[in-house]
Amino acid sequence: MAKSISIKKAQRRNAVKRALNKARRTRLKNALKKFYAAENKAELLKEVQSIVDKSAKHRIIHKNKASRIKSRLFRLVNQPSA
């Protein structure tokens, strides 16, 4: 068990960070699932794009992964209906 005051403080900070990161990761995953399941994807595009950008900003995902996700979302919305 940690004895140092600074280590205990670090553990508290880590617990808070871990909870925030988990919530952000869950929000991102749920938004993507909702987008892929939706009939009208164009309506959700802006909201999902914002969540992806915020996840990259908070380093939940890498910025290149965020770019790749957004590219795929735009491709789905803009593909011609066949």
pTM of the shown model: 0.85
> Mapping DSSP to helix (H, G, I), strand (E, B) and coil, where does residue 63 land?
helix
| Structure tokens belonging to residue 51 | 């969540």
**Two structure tokens written together for 62:** 């890498």
- Domain 5-78 CATH superfamily: Ribosomal protein S20 (1.20.58.110)
Q: pLDDT digit string (tens) for 31-82?
A: 999 999 999 999 999 999 999 999 999 999 999 999 999 999 999 999 876 5
Q: How far is CA 79 from CA 24, 74, 75, in A?
A: 29, 8, 6
Type of residue numbered 4: S
